[in-house]
Amino acid sequence: MSVLLAVSDLRKAYAGVHALDGVSFSVEAGSITGLIGPNGSGKSTAIDCLSGFQKLDSGRVVIEGRDITGQPAHLIARAGLRRTFQTVRIYERLSLRDNLAIANQQVDPATWIDESFRTRRYREAVAASEARARELVALIGLAKYYDAEAGILSYGQKKLVALASALMPRPRIVVLDEPVAGVNPSRI
């Protein structure tokens, strides 16, 4: 197996408190890897730093041989690393369909010109996005809510929508922060 993600010597301090002090690990392609530790041990900080949501004090983050250290979150997402958050971040007034369509926009090949003129590229991108969204909503067991506002869902269901949103653009790696907190145990 090859190394998909390599994290070396991550360091992050807040006003002298060391949240991360030399964190290193690697993730093999096709594997499931977990960061385990008590509350306040720096797991979420590590995820924030490697995904570009917080600036590292030092260290290195590499995806498939490409150094992404210090890049902004949107470029890290384009490089293939998607993440979820401890607290749910979805558009509650939009349908599940629209939440997933938004999650796919960054990798959508259609331009605003394609959309304006409803070109073939636009129509194909919409069809592909719709098919992927339906597949993921079925996978998380929420197909009957596909066109419903996400705000009507339980907290655990919203976490599943956030997971589906992270999976929508077919990333190389997905980093989950507290993935099952609030999710019905029968779903796990």
69 Cβ neighbours under 8 A, 6+ residues apart: 56, 59, 60, 61, 62
- pLDDT tens figures, 74-93: 999 999 999 999 999 999 99
Residues 74 and 14 in one domain: yes
Q: Are 181 and 159 in contact (CB under 8 A)?
A: yes
Residues 69 and 120 in one domain: no
Q: Pick from 79, 110, 144: which residue ends a domain?
A: 79
Q: Pick from 50, 79, 108: which residue ends a domain?
A: 79
> Looking at the 3D structure of the chain, how many domains does it have?
2
- pLDDT-derived band at 187, boundaries 50, 70, 90: low
Residues 122 and 162 in one domain: yes
Say if 75 falls within a structural domain: yes
- pLDDT-derived band at 180, boundaries 50, 70, 90: confident
Cα separations in angstroms, 99 against 69, 72, 94, 133, 178? 29, 22, 6, 9, 20
- Whether this prediction's pTM lies above 0.85 is answered by yes
- pLDDT tens figures, 92-124: 999 999 999 999 998 999 999 999 999 999 999
Average confidence score pLDDT of the chain? 95
Residues 104 and 181 in one domain: yes
Segments forming the whole domain that contains residue 147: 96-187
Residues 30 and 102 in one domain: no
Q: With 60 as the cut, is the pLDDT of residue 61 above it? A: yes
Say if 175 falls within a structural domain: yes
Residues 65 and 140 in one domain: no
Q: What sections of 6-58 are H helices per DSSP?
A: 43-50
